[in-house]
Amino acid sequence: MLAKKIHLPLYIIASLLFGLKTYIVYRFVFNISLDNVVQELILFINPFVSAFLVFALCVLFKEKRQAKFIRYIALIGSIVIYFNLVFYRNFTDFITIPVLFQGSNAADLGSSVLDLISITDILLFADVAIIWYLSVKFKSKLTVSYNKRNKAFAITMAITLLVVNYALAEAERPQLLQRTFDREYLVKNIGLFNYHIYDIVLHSKTEVQRVFADGNDVPDIKNYIDENIKSDVQSDLFGVAKGKNVIFISLESLQSFVINNTVNGKEVTPFLNDLIGDSYYFENFYHQTAQGKTSDSEFLIENSLYPLPRGAVFFTHGQNEYNATPELLKEEGYYSSVFHANNKSFWNRDVMYQSLGYDNFFDVESYEVTEDNSIGWGLKDKPFFEQSIKYLQTIPQPFYSKFITLTNHYPFELAEEDATIDQYDSNSRTLNQYFQTARYTDEAVEQFFEQLKQSGIYEDSIIVLMGDHYGISEFHNKAMSMYLDKDEISPYDHIQLQRVPFFIHIPGQEGKTISDIAGQIDVKPTLLHLLGIEDKGDITFGTDLFSDNQKDFIALRNGDFVSDNYIYSDGICYDRGSGEVLEESLDSVPEDELEDSVCEPIKEQVRTELSYSDQIIYGDLLRFYDFGQ
């Protein structure tokens, strides 16, 4: 009886089931913002269009192979969605081809991946089970004849739907495919699977970019930097730390919202709070990382270049020519090293560190790691610093040494005996646990300061501390709004949450809190300025943070920005001080109406800067540049 009631071909049934499932994931699992009814319509249409486009290809096969093709396409498509779903839960982003090549990292993720998986995820494959059942139960009854008429109908319909979908998307978001830094908009408008196809094309294009690159683009980039970024004016702090050791502490996932804040009535970071009074503390300092996270933050601070919009530079361009801080300091007699109790190949560090000019990498093999002194991603921060100090005492001085912590890393696990404050109480286990691991890292840093003093290294060093990237993603906005006592987390609030702590502690120097906007792109020129090292024609996009002529905006990797007066996020222009909306849906405003926009000029400069940085990396352009000129 059921066979008689079914009149639709299997590929249409599969398209409807798969399209409906994909829309549900878009709408209720991915945190995709929708500004109007047209965007809602496009979001609803594109999963069905993508599904029909693929399943309709079955008409190119004879009847007996059609069902098999549909079954496996449904399974593969569901796996693609699921991988994106798990990735999105952690990074609030979609997978790119370069990220897939970083699969070697997955072996080190441990409990992080398991924490992102739910038993209810099996429902994502319900349509696959239905399609398999129908294809086996009714077999030839649901196939279509292998003839020109059916082929023509299916292919014509698929192309027509695709064109209609793209026309709607282009009308809603002009130059959509030129906005590759905004993956959410691509997925929202053309669908997850078409986005992946586009990403493959884009990746192929960038791979050949280096082969055909030459030095002709370098003068334009250098002229832009000289006219818009460089300054010959030196601050009073130039050379204040000349000849001193530099100890750089990368604070895993630490965001500024915990600084001078409490949970359950207790300070989250009491030591760092006190350190503000004895340090140069930048309270409006933003991370600028993308998919490379910690490795992106390292790339930013060492090179003052932006990370890539897709994947991680450490993986995709680890053997490029750079002019990084370790290499520059080596010319001044410095010994450089990295301390990180993780696998040396993670994020391709063993290759990239050589390109950056580091002398030594103390990886996990340098540490004694046991079940008792490790959790989550590995060695706890306190034993990490304890075991590192003996190495620090033996390396030549002056040195430039970077320490990368681990404990305050997703999923923010901590043994009960190590927790000195109670968990927060919200609907997000991630946020609840975050405060405890942040407190533990704070205690570990305090302990390290004491060890530096006892070892005699402290007085001859400057100590820089920086949060590397966000720890709490947009996926936890509901819990975050509860903690911050807000009705919701707006795009304006989201940008403000990208602030991370940045301290420059110089023993003997009075502390000062600096309110100017700043970012990780500024770390390299700022450190070199303090060490008294002259700029010898370097190509950097950051400025010395102690200079009166520093840049008046910070570019985020997705094209958003923070300037002295404005914040631009998700197509909306805000007043930075009040959060008041000044211009709505700026991305959909026709170009001839943008003349009076306050955010558009900065937005265009941000695009220019990101584009120039990308050209340098994709084309390996620094190999053509003489840094002594």
Distances (CA, A) of 530 to 112, 359, 503, 570: 39, 22, 13, 36
SS3 track for 310-352: CCCHHHHCCCCCCCCHHHHHHCCCCEEEEECCCCCCHHHHHHH
Residue whose structure tokens are 């930075």: 576
Active site residue 294: yes
Which residue, 168, 200, 169, 193, is CA-closest to 50? 193
Task: Find the angle CA(21)-CA(26)-CA(30) to the nearest 5 degrees.
Answer: 130
Which residue, 231, 4, 15, is CA-closest to 137? 4
Residue whose structure tokens are 């958003």: 560
Residue 156 CB neighbour total at 10 angstroms = 11
Distances (CA, A) of 25 to 37, 342, 492: 18, 35, 25
H-only helix segments in 418-468: 429-455
Query: Distance between CA 135 and CA 3 in Å, rounded?
Result: 11
Residue 334 CB neighbour total at 10 angstroms = 23
Q: Which residues contact 88 (CB under 8 A, 6 or more apart)?
A: 29, 30, 94, 475
- The torsion angle over the Cα atoms of residues 444, 448, 449 and 453, rounded to 10 degrees, is 150
Task: Find the angle CA(600)-CA(605)-CA(606) to the nearest 5 degrees.
Answer: 95
Q: Which of 22, 294, 325, 543 is catalytic?
A: 294
Region of residue 52 (phi > 0: left; psi between -120 and 50: alpha; otherwise: beta): alpha
Buried residues in 385-415 as b, exposed as e (16+ CB within 10 A): bbbbbeebeeeeebbbbbbbbbbbbbbbbbe
**Radius of gyration of the chain from its Cα atoms, rounded to whole angstroms:** 26
Joined together, the tokens standing for residue 215 give 């030095």
- The torsion angle over the Cα atoms of residues 615, 616, 618 and 621, rounded to 10 degrees, is 120
Distances (CA, A) of 548 to 234, 237, 540, 566: 9, 12, 18, 19
Query: Distance between CA 364 and CA 368 in Å, rounded?
Result: 8
* Cβ 338 vs Cβ 539: under 8 Å: no
Backbone angles phi, psi at 610, to 5 degrees: -60, -40
Buried residues in 470-482 as b, exposed as e (16+ CB within 10 A): bbbbbbbbebbbb
Length of the chain: 629
Catalytic residue numbers, as ranges: 294
